Each structure stands twice: as structure tokens, then as C-alpha cells.
């Protein structure tokens, strides 16, 4: 093994990106080749995993009165900070799970996965909170958004984790 050469490259097979790792001995003879599919693209299955993952924490967190009161009490700057923190955590998790070492040519896929995770989580939360009539979208839309963002923080992280589980 000492002196062996390891080379990594990416190829597309059937429209999906794969990483090919080849190991050659000192003389250049192929010892081993490993092909792993990299889940760079966001497909329908990924979107469903995100939706279900968001709902997993939306229900216990969104049904608590403490969460509703936080939406009333916290100033808008804190809500913006929570939203930014949530997006930062999703971005970090997605980068280290899928894209570390593979960002070249995949920035669009990366941004799509991060934004899809947060936006779908927000929509799921907004829907659930609307069903239990805790988001007054017509009379106090700011309060509705604040409550939705607060519950989206943990739900979006669960959504990102659920997207990884294959």
C-alpha cells in the first residue's frame, strides 16, 4: 500500500454524478476502483424527505404555547437572526454532507438544496400553524411570519437530516 497512488474524479452515469476513486500500485497497475453516486441533484424523493423531515419537529414544537408567545415577544431583529442561523446550519450541514470537495460545477445544486430545504420547511410550518389557527395571516401577518420562522428553525434542521437518510 505504501507508494500506491489514489486518484479521484467525477463522472456522469445515467444523468447522475458519481465519484470514481482509483488506486494504482507503484508500477501504475490498477488495484481497485470505487464508484459512489454523489447525491448532488435535488429530486422529487429529496423534496418529499425534506417535507416529511420538517413535519417531524413541526408538530411537537408548533403546538406549544411557549413558541407562540416567543413570536409575540421577540423583536424582529431576533427573528431575522434565528432565520439566518437556521440557514447557516442548513448550509453547513449540506456542505459537509454532500458537497465538501465537490463544489466545482455544483454551486447551483448546492444553493438549490439549501434553499429548497428552508423554503419547503417554512411552507410546511406555515401550513401546519395555519391549520391550528395560530398564524393570523390576514390580521397580523408579521406575527404569523415570526411564529413560522421560530418553528422553522428546528424543523428545517430535521428536514436537512431527513434528506440525508437514504
Same domain, 84 and 138: yes
Best CA proximity match to 7, nearest among 37, 38, 30, 39:
30
Residue 131 clears pLDDT 70, i.e. is over it: yes
Q: How many residues does the chain have?
A: 166
Strands (E), 102-164: none
| 14-23 confidence digits (pLDDT tens) | 766 777 778 8
On whether the CB atoms of residues 23 and 6 are closer than 8 A, the answer is: yes
Best CA proximity match to 12, nearest among 41, 33, 45:
41
Give the Å distances, CA to CA, from 8 to 33, 70, 81, 98, 101.
10, 49, 39, 16, 10
| 25-71 confidence digits (pLDDT tens) | 888 888 888 877 666 778 888 899 999 999 998 999 999 999 999 99
pLDDT at 117 (0 to 100):
97
Same domain, 133 and 56: yes
Residue 166 clears pLDDT 60, i.e. is over it: yes
Same domain, 55 and 28: no
Average pLDDT for 133-142: 97
- Domain span at 102: 44-164
Same domain, 92 and 114: yes
User: 20 forms bridges with which residues in the sheet?
Assistant: 9, 35
Q: How many domains does one find in the chain?
A: 2
pLDDT at 24 (0 to 100):
81
Amino acid at each position: 500500500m505504501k507508494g500506491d497512488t489514489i486518484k479521484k474524479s467525477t463522472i456522469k452515469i445515467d444523468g447522475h454524478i458519481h465519484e470514481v476513486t482509483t488506486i494504482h500500485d507503484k508500477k501504475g497497475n490498477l488495484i481497485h476502483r470505487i464508484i459512489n453516486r454523489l447525491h448532488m441533484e435535488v429530486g422529487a424523493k429529496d423534496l418529499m424527505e425534506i417535507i416529511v423531515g420538517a413535519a417531524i419537529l413541526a408538530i411537537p414544537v408548533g403546538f406549544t404555547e411557549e413558541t407562540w408567545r416567543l413570536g409575540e415577544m421577540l423583536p424582529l431583529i431576533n427573528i431575522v437572526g434565528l432565520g439566518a442561523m437556521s440557514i447557516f446550519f442548513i448550509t453547513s450541514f449540506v456542505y459537509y454532507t454532500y458537497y465538501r470537495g465537490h463544489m466545482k460545477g455544483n454551486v447551483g445544486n448546492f444553493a438549490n438544496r439549501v434553499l429548497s430545504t428552508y423554503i419547503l420547511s417554512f411552507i410546511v410550518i406555515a401550513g401546519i400553524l395555519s391549520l391550528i389557527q395560530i398564524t393570523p395571516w390576514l390580521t397580523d401577518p408579521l406575527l404569523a411570519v415570526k411564529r413560522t420562522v421560530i418553528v422553522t428553525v428546528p424543523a428545517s434542521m430535521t428536514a436537512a437530516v431527513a434528506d440525508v437518510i437514504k
